[in-house]
Structure 1
Amino acid sequence: MALSIQQRGSVFLVTVVCLLVVGICAPFSGHDLQRAMQIAIGACAVLYGLSIVPVGQLLDRPTALGLILIIVLGLVSSMLAHQPLWALAEMALFVSCGSIAVAFALLRRQGGEPLDRALVMVVVLLCLIKSIQYLYAGTLVFISAERALDPDLLLSGFSNKRFYGQFQTFTLPLLALPLLIPVISRPLKGAVFALLCVWWMIAIAGGTRGTWLGMCVAAGVLAVLGASGRRWLGWQLAAMFGGLLLYWLVFAVVADYLGVEVSKSASDRLTTSLSGRGPIWWQAWHMIVECPWLGFGPMHFADIANEIAAHPHQAILQWASEWGVPSALCVVALAWRGGWATFSVLRERALSNTRADLLRLCLFAALVGALVQSMVDGVMVMPNSQVWLALVVGWLMALHVWKNPGTAALPLAWAAWKVLSVLAVGLLVFIAARDVPHIKQAQQQYLGTHVDLLQPRFWAQGVIAR
């Protein structure tokens, strides 16, 4: 018996939640597992998209034309690249993220406001699990005979603490939503606020400056978005100070009392150093100067080996050096256009306290924070961050209020998108099936001939230069 549209949506949502829980919360998780998780979510999104007809307008004509231009330029750049298959793999990731965003937009359109509650529950669940893991790991250190504590070792499920910070940049704004909804009971708000304080403590202890920067800019933007934005800012400031208090109590008072020496203090991260980004930014700039129109090819920053990273930790430089300056300008224009459209809706509905409008506010804060962090970090590269970026964009697309609603998607355009999505996910599945059985061996071989450091890009060992 064929499943109804609601049942298909439920199956898709449950599958995605299970994949997210495994990819983020499993102690053995890391970059490669999260990439596999992303590919699986992309495949589920394509299957879900194939099974339903789009409801209402998701994109306007200028945005659709801009995306077509980016894809065409990317295909040309990939065909001219040194390693076309890896370049096409990067393009496939871009299309796959688009499929995930479209699937979440269609899911929200079909399911309505109950899906908003489901999203918040998923965010609370993930943050709660990660907080329990963090506090449990810290407790084990304090009750053991060890007399040294490295806060970085308390962060589990991610290959690098900056990737953990990127996840927090997406979830810190969303975790404040229950605090903004008037009908939520005080005990429940108190529990969520306590969780938000712990989540801030972990963000402070983790020392990811990109997260701090992204949240600061998001706070500044929301401060001018009316009463709801300022209430969001007030809750975040209160939780941040609560997190600072918890950090001081745990890593100063309790640690001193038990005679545990804490290394890598958060205050040590209050610097303006680039942490090695200068050389890779210069490498990206030289690539732009050498090939300004079509770039070296998607993912091809990783085709020029260096001792620091397989991506430049700066989204605009990365896109311009790999896809070309025209494509980068198009991406920036589309991002600005979409952000301004959401900003305009938020200003017009600044006095609204409906759940959908408050969720739009929190999603916009998460998007602003992530985009700001992408200027100094690999938000556009890491698999978990790509999935959350697609989720935020897709949900904002579903919630967007069109001033001049257009017609539904054209059948020919929708069919072309389905074909492109299937091809993209098919390529990603092929690469995963080819590489995963030998991935540990390839990593050991790389570590044996290079510095003892993996440089993540597609896989944890992301350097594709031969």
Structure 2
Amino acid sequence: MTLSVQRRGSIFLVLAVCLLVVGICTPFGGHDLQRVMQIAIGFCAVLYGISVTPTEPWVDRQTALGLSVIVGLGVTSSLLAHQPLWALTEVALFVSCAAIALAFASLRRHGGEPLDRALLLIVVLLCLIKTFQYLYAGVLAFASGGPTLNPDLLLSSFSNKRFYGQFQTLTLPLLALPLLLPTVSRSLRGMAFALLCAWWLIAISGGTRGTWLGMGVAGMVLALLGPWGRRWLGWQLAAMLGGLWVYWLLFTVLATYLGIETSNDASERLTTSLSGRGPIWWQGWQMVAERPWLGFGPMHFADIANKVAAHPHQAVLQWASEWGVLSTLCVAVLAGRSGWATVAVLRERARSSERADLLRLCLFAALVGALTQSMVDGVLVMPNSQVWLALVVGWLMALHRWRTPATATWPLAWTVWKVLSVLAIALLVHVALRDVPHIKQAQRQYLDATGSYLQPRFWAQGVIAR
């Protein structure tokens, strides 16, 4: 039985990695492809999840009750919404992300510490591919002989450079893990540091301020969690300075020598402006004031068309305006309890140099950084960011050390969860089969009718208002 579970876990991991590579590394990819890949990963996660019977519960009773309330409030809000099917699609997306998290948690629980090395290899592989793509595009740009060079054009596979920045916020903390492990050789540590510098170079080139904010807050939090947290911060600062130095050499020294003018330089984006967020934050606040308890319905910020975006670029406003204040409070309480429980384990294991403890530290930094960035960006909306958030949460669940012995599993609750996850992924597959064949046509019609630009939400054209 154990071998069978491990084999199914291996199949799920291979499929998930292949789908991640396609979604993140395909040059012609973007938001819609990443959404399809997310649904495919969710489908694999549900199949894997329903085939595994847990020997102990993943969460305590209070957390399970809170999640049930959130889903119940979401369904109720959806049924009262202007477009119930789109609202239920957003609830299904939430459930599928939970299924992905549980699948990764189950994978790590059954696979043990070797899966930690596999996770690190996956992160390194993806970041290496993206780094080679960036450097290759840079070589072509410098060799083209053009009079100007825009660093934004060196970024590929993402519809918007901010979405790329979200991916970097979730992976920069994990790339520092080899630099913390005492058993890593000096040559491997040098290569790991070079990759981290290159990843910071791309982050600086992209200029996503949310990444800087997220990494800054994560660094301050980890500095309070013991010597390994401060060592993690030291490596990140060193790599950031290395990336900044390389950026200066490439886009200032080399560009000047070749007579190339750099447009959209990173220094031009070091501002405190809201970049158009003011109107959509105000719209979100008005929606909360008008329907405070159950909100307008999940995804229904996109049902009120505006000229800026189909989501408010602020996680709390988004959840409160769409799902309601009651659901928002439940989410905040659960996030606070889970975060505090993880901090307690991190402080208890603050001086441990075991791989699992150092990985837990890096995963927590990624989670803090992403949640911080979600206060100013659409981390909770973009498909790739949702998958990586689910992966980080699931791995942290698997690594968690319970202070009290785990209670017995609840067969009825597990059965209800399996039914719910199957229904959720079935709805998402239905929406994908319905929309994907007509996506390009729908986008052209929207652009012709509005003369605007695409506003991503579920799809790249995310405005559902009719």
Please state which band the TM-score falls in when normalised by the shorter chain.
Answer: over 0.9
Task: Tell me the residue number matched to 1:346.
Answer: 346
Task: Tell me the residue number matched to 2:273.
Answer: 273
Per-residue CA deviations over 1:52-96 (Å, capped at 9, x if unaligned) read 111333101111110011011011100000000000000000000
Per-residue CA deviations over 1:30-69 (Å, capped at 9, x if unaligned) read 0000000000000000000111111333101111110011
Give 1:245-394 correspondences, 5 Å limit. 245-394=245-394
Per-residue CA deviations over 1:405-449 (Å, capped at 9, x if unaligned) read 222421110010000000000000000000000000000000001
Give 1:438-457 correspondences, 5 Å limit. 438-457=438-457
Task: Tell me the residue number matched to 1:117.
Answer: 117
**Aligned partner letter, 2:143:** I
Task: Tell me the residue number matched to 1:87.
Answer: 87
Task: State the secondary structure of the residue aligned to 2:301.
Answer: helix
Distance in 1 between residues matched to 2:309 and 2:3, nearest whole Å: 46
Task: Tell me the residue number matched to 2:34.
Answer: 34
Task: Tell me the residue number matched to 1:149.
Answer: 149
**Aligned partner letter, 2:278:** G
Distance in 1 between residues matched to 2:259 and 2:392, nearest whole Å: 44
Distance in 2 between residues matched to 1:373 and 1:55, nearest whole Å: 35
Task: Tell me the residue number matched to 1:68.
Answer: 68
Question: Relative to structure 1, is the Cα distance of residues 409 and 309 closer, same or farther in structure 2, using a 3 angstrom cutoff?
Answer: same
Per-residue CA deviations over 1:304-341 (Å, capped at 9, x if unaligned) read 00000000000000000000001011111111111111
Give the number of aligned pairs: 466
| Structure 2 gap ranges (5+) | none
Distance in 2 between residues matched to 1:93 and 1:71, nearest whole Å: 11
**Aligned partner letter, 2:155:** L
Give 1:161-176 correspondences, 5 Å limit. 161-176=161-176
Task: Tell me the residue number matched to 1:197.
Answer: 197
Distance in 2 between residues matched to 1:408 and 1:124, nearest whole Å: 37
**Aligned partner letter, 1:307:** K
Per-residue CA deviations over 1:242-269 (Å, capped at 9, x if unaligned) read 0110110111111111111101111111
Distance in 2 between residues matched to 1:6 and 1:371, nearest whole Å: 32
Task: Tell me the residue number matched to 2:433.
Answer: 433
138-147 vs 159-168, which moves further = 138-147
Task: Tell me the residue number matched to 1:421.
Answer: 421
Using the size of structure 2 for normalisation, the TM-score is 0.99
Distance in 2 between residues matched to 1:408 and 1:144, nearest whole Å: 65
Distance in 1 between residues matched to 2:19 and 2:340, nearest whole Å: 32
Are the aligned partners of 2:152 and 2:161 in contact in 1 as well (CA < 8 Å)?
A: yes
Distance in 2 between residues matched to 1:223 and 1:410, nearest whole Å: 39
Q: Which runs of 4+ in 1 moved over 2 A?
A: none
Are the aligned partners of 1:454 and 1:461 in contact in 2 as well (CA < 8 Å)?
A: yes
Distance in 1 between residues matched to 2:409 and 2:363, nearest whole Å: 25
Task: Tell me the residue number matched to 1:102.
Answer: 102
Are the aligned partners of 1:57 and 1:405 in contact in 2 as well (CA < 8 Å)?
A: no
The percent of aligned pairs where both chains have the same amino acid is 75
**Aligned partner letter, 2:202:** I
Are the aligned partners of 1:23 and 1:37 in contact in 2 as well (CA < 8 Å)?
A: yes
**Aligned partner letter, 1:345:** V
Using the size of structure 1 for normalisation, the TM-score is 0.99
Are the aligned partners of 1:158 and 1:164 in contact in 2 as well (CA < 8 Å)?
A: yes
Distance in 1 between residues matched to 2:426 and 2:3, nearest whole Å: 24
Are the aligned partners of 2:309 and 2:455 in contact in 1 as well (CA < 8 Å)?
A: yes
**Aligned partner letter, 2:98:** G
Distance in 1 between residues matched to 2:208 and 2:330, nearest whole Å: 29
Task: Tell me the residue number matched to 1:213.
Answer: 213
Task: State the secondary structure of the residue aligned to 1:392.
Answer: helix
Distance in 1 between residues matched to 2:124 and 2:264, nearest whole Å: 28
Deviation at 1:3, TM superposition (A): 7.4
Are the aligned partners of 2:57 and 2:410 in contact in 1 as well (CA < 8 Å)?
A: no
Task: State the secondary structure of the residue aligned to 2:390.
Answer: helix
Distance in 1 between residues matched to 2:248 and 2:405, nearest whole Å: 52
Task: Tell me the residue number matched to 2:136.
Answer: 136
Task: State the secondary structure of the residue aligned to 1:278.
Answer: helix
Distance in 2 between residues matched to 1:2 and 1:419, nearest whole Å: 24
Task: Tell me the residue number matched to 1:461.
Answer: 461
Distance in 1 between residues matched to 2:366 and 2:77, nearest whole Å: 31
**Aligned partner letter, 1:319:** W
Per-residue CA deviations over 1:96-137 (Å, capped at 9, x if unaligned) read 000000000000000000000000000000000000000100
Task: Tell me the residue number matched to 1:228.
Answer: 228
CA RMSD of aligned residues (A): 1.1
Are the aligned partners of 1:55 and 1:106 in contact in 2 as well (CA < 8 Å)?
A: no
**Aligned partner letter, 1:117:** R
Task: State the secondary structure of the residue aligned to 1:453.
Answer: coil
Task: State the secondary structure of the residue aligned to 1:452.
Answer: coil
Deviation at 1:2, TM superposition (A): 12
Distance in 1 between residues matched to 2:231 and 2:410, nearest whole Å: 41
| Structure 1 gap ranges (5+) | none
Are the aligned partners of 1:55 and 1:109 in contact in 2 as well (CA < 8 Å)?
A: no
Are the aligned partners of 2:39 and 2:428 in contact in 1 as well (CA < 8 Å)?
A: yes
Distance in 2 between residues matched to 1:2 and 1:275, nearest whole Å: 52
Distance in 2 between residues matched to 1:149 and 1:64, nearest whole Å: 52
